[in-house]
Amino acid sequence: MFKYSLHAAVIVTAVLFAQSALAQEAAPMLQQSAAMAASAPRDPALKPVFAEFGGKQGLVSLMNDFMDNLVADPRTRPYFENADREHIKAELVDQFCVILDGPCTYTGKSMATAHRNLGINRAGFNALVEDLQKAMSKHDIPFRAQNKLLAKLAPMHSAVITKK
Amino acid sequence: MQMHRKSRTALLIGLALAGGLSSTMASAADTGGSQFSNKLLLTGGVSQIEGSAGGGLTPWAVIGGYGTQDEIGGNAFYSRVNLPDYHLDDVGALVGFYNRVEVSFAQQRFNTEQVGGALGLGNGFTFTQNVIGVKVRLFGDVVLDQDSWMPQVSIGIQHKKNDQAAVLRFIGAKSDQGNDYYISATKLFLSQSLLVNATLRYTKANQIGILGFGGDKNNTYKPEFAGSVAYLLSRNWAIGAEYRQKPNNLGIAREDNWYDAFVAWAPTKHVSLTLAYVDLGNIVIKRQQRGMYASVQVGF
């Protein structure tokens, strides 16, 4: 009997430890996402990735295909078909450009504000990621470079996904 | 032989059904239904040897299938391991509920080929083991949590029942059934295109249960570690390696830790193929059991 309770204790302890760590993590993360609301932070380490995306011109051209994918995809179309798509593309170019340490500034709304009333769920968020991946592959952006950008965009899920 | 053919037929029908089901799901998604398969490609893992979602040898913390937190996902698999002196046929299926709970079933048929004859059991003597698994995701998101070190963590149980109670008793195993308990932590380091998994398993299983549970040398639960690394080459291709510690409970047959190196290909969310080179070490009277592992999975 003892050996079973020992194992149970080990697992319970591990779980409790991890959850308390998670709770500690959660509070600063909220503040952090508010602080970086304007856009994800500039990361000088991603300068070479900016080149792999073809610089600002590359981003402009990428965003055309990305938006075409979003409108063609029935999962994302409702969020974009009646929106000012040219404006969204321009904001996305600036935002990605800043993340990749390009010579841009992002002056648009915070992610939380921009997505507040859209009711986007996880499925919709993932659909957008897939549409972006498709566009990046079409533009022959190396897979590793794609992932470096996606790694910076992924944490925005907490501001974008409002329908839990 | 007759039995064998029947199970093959059942397997083919099962795979065909799962394939048909997933293409129905796919067309539902294509017409804007989007009620299925919205998890990102390959982020549900593949089917491991005991039927849970993971790598080939060990479960990961991921919930199998392509369902997000609003969706149900599922898949079926067939795996074959060819070794110098044995082979294993492995079929199963799983359902993932709302990216929270995974329920799985697998049937392993371990064929002893000529070794069975040498041991007086008859050539082609086969141990059949059924495994029912339940896994629960506790916290974390393997893909999205890219701004913290927090992995996705799940706990699970695999209940195993072997059909050769008399033979197992004879070789010194204490039981023909048992439960494995595990906790898995999986983390995708997206900026490095690298996925890492660590699993701690409490088990008494000999050769994952093919040779029963507990033995003359040891009949207590022992923690055994398993680790996996996978490098994402593209959206559709991943390569990696795994390691799985195992207990050594039986006096008559030394048991070794397992290793593999794999390549997985998922052309769509509805099918994946995994090929691996496996080193399963000593199995009963045959050393250096190194061979090929092949697995096909269909689902949604």
Statement to judge: residues A1 and A82 lie in one domain: no
Q: Are B65 and B76 in contact (CB under 8 A)?
A: no
Which CATH number characterizes residue A91's domain? 1.10.490.10
**Domains detected in chain B:** 2-299 (2.40.160.40)
B225: number of Cβ within 10 Å: 13
The total number of structural domains that make up chain A: 2
Give chain B's mean pLDDT. Answer: 92
Statement to judge: residues A43 and A19 lie in one domain: no
Statement to judge: residues A8 and A84 lie in one domain: no
| Lowest mean pLDDT, pick from B15-19, B159-163, B195-199, B272-276 | B15-19
For residue B116, which amino acid is it?
A: G
Residue B14 has pLDDT above 80, yes or no: no
Statement to judge: residues A112 and A69 lie in one domain: yes
Chain A contact for B194 (CB, 8 A cutoff): no
pLDDT confidence band for A31 (50 / 70 / 90): very low
Give the tens place of pLDDT for each residue, A71-128. Answer: 999 999 999 999 999 999 999 999 999 999 999 999 888 888 889 888 899 999 999 9
Give the tens place of pLDDT for each residue, B239-269. Answer: 999 999 999 999 998 999 999 999 999 999 9
Statement to judge: residues A16 and A77 lie in one domain: no
Residue A38 has pLDDT above 70, yes or no: no
Query: How large is the average pLDDT for residues B72-85?
Result: 98
Query: How remote is the C-alpha of B209 from its chain's centroid?
Result: 13
Statement to judge: residues A21 and A55 lie in one domain: no
Statement to judge: residues A15 and A65 lie in one domain: no
Chain A contact for B231 (CB, 8 A cutoff): no
For residue A30, the enclosing domain spans 1-35
Residue B28 has pLDDT above 70, yes or no: no
Of B30, B144, B234, the CB nearest to A143: B234
pLDDT at A92: 96
Chain A contact for B233 (CB, 8 A cutoff): yes
Of B32, B71, B155, the CB nearest to A74: B32
What ipTM score was computed for the predicted complex, to two decimals?
Answer: 0.85
Chain A contact for B138 (CB, 8 A cutoff): yes
Provide CB contacts within 8 A for B49, sequence distance 6+. B56, B57, B79, B81, B88, B90, B106, B108, B208
